Amino acid sequence: MATGRFFQEVELPEQKSYSDGVVFPVVLSPTTNTNVTVFEEAIKAEKPWLESLLKKSGVILFRGFPVTTASEFNDVIEAFGYPEAPYIGGRASRTQVVGRVYTANETPPDKRIPFHHEMAYVPEFPAKLFFFCEEAPGSGGQTPIVLSHVVYEKMKEKHPEFVAQLEEHGVTYIILTGDEDQPLSSTGRGWKTAYNTDDKKVAEERAAKLGTRLEWIGNAAKVIAGPMPAIRFDKESQQKTWFNNLTGPTKGGRKIHDKGAFAELGNGEAVNDDAMDDCVKILEEECVIVPWKKGDVMLINNLTVLHAREPLLKPPRRVLASLCK
């Protein structure tokens, strides 16, 4: 379907279509051969239309555009004009590549990263996420996406009492972290990097601004974030969303998806294991998994869409990221 002089919507077999007319994700390709500068100018010219697509669908996948380097990806991000979101208190190990572009989570690529809203454990989370496929995976390594309001509705239907508890009490996230980064862990950022200081008191102050408190165990910290809302109301879509990071298995001491990472209800009660098992099934049924192609740029509305990472089966893979307000 043609949608303008520069962008055209294309269909992929992996897309989902919903009864309200939403196509998830929207996939855009150029109508003619182009270059990065023309792409950037088209973004600026068509920004209101692109934002309306993002609001309706939750994800835009730009495919077939001539974005080949981290620097060009940075220029594309800048063309949208969104302010950069700081990663203060963020838990994944990431390295700056250029400008506003960072490596995505540096956890070993053969490990799965479960569904989450980016930085749902702090009050100031990014509104939008950009991903860029610099090197396409040989096999595996996709970034599954799922509409958060669909997960909420299906969980409320299946576990209304548990969802009511989440709405009333929220959720508290607890991780144990050392002073040094542990890149082998998906929540492996040490407290010094997470809060950008070597000083425990400064770290405590910066954590407190994020609704987080630190308890010290020698040089290690027990990071207690919350209670944070587990269900949020998205004003633009007028829908409730499953805005939490509970979506990994919780058996064995309410474990999330990594050793030393736990979650409990905001009133201190345990998370319902049966509900979480069903949640994982719902996520798997409702998600869309589009294999990466070199040059893909994916724009995600972090307020309405959860994302994950599939294990890499065949290297290489290099996906870069940027967080925006």
Residue 234 contacts residue 56 (beta carbons within 8 Å): no
Query: Partners of 285 in the beta sheet?
Result: none
Range from 95-104, 127-136, 176-185 carrying the lowest mean pLDDT: 176-185
Residue 83 pLDDT greater than 50, yes or no: yes
pLDDT digits (tens, 9 = 90+) for 201-225: 999 999 999 889 999 999 999 999 9
Between 164 and 261, the higher pLDDT residue: 164
Residue 46 Cα to chain centre, angstroms:
25
Residue 253 pLDDT greater than 50, yes or no: no
Mean pLDDT across 251-272: 70
Residue 260 pLDDT greater than 80, yes or no: no
Mean pLDDT across 54-64: 97
pLDDT band per the 50, 70, 90 thresholds, residue 177: confident
**% of the chain surpassing 90 pLDDT:** 78
pLDDT digits (tens, 9 = 90+) for 290-318: 999 999 999 999 999 999 999 999 999 99
Half-sphere exposure of 309 (CA within 13 A, CB side): 24
Which pLDDT does position 317 carry in this prediction? 97
HEC profile of the chain: CECCCCEEEECCCCCEECCCCCEECEEEEECCCCCHHHHHHHHHHCHHHHHHHHHHHCEEEECCCCCCCHHHHHHHHHHHCCCECCCCCCCCCCCEEECCEEECCCCCCCCCEEEECCCCCCCCCCCEEEEEEEECCCEECCCCEEEHHHHHHHHHHHCHHHHHHHHHHCEEEEEEECCCCCCCCCCCCCHHHHCCCCCHHHHHHHHHHCCEEEEEECCEEEEEEEEECCCEEECCCCEEECCCCCCCCCCCCCECCCCCEEEEECCCCCCCHHHHHHHHHHHHHHCECCCCCCCCEEEEECCCEEEEECCEEECCCEEEEEEEC
Torsion over CA of 68, 70, 72 and 78, rounded to 10 degrees? 140
Residue 255 pLDDT greater than 60, yes or no: no
Q: Is the peptide bond before 25 cis (omega within 30 degrees of 0)?
A: yes
pLDDT digits (tens, 9 = 90+) for 25-34: 999 999 998 9
Task: Report CA torsion sign: 100, 258, 172, 273.
Answer: positive
Read off the amino acid at residue 159.
H
Which pLDDT does position 180 carry in this prediction? 87
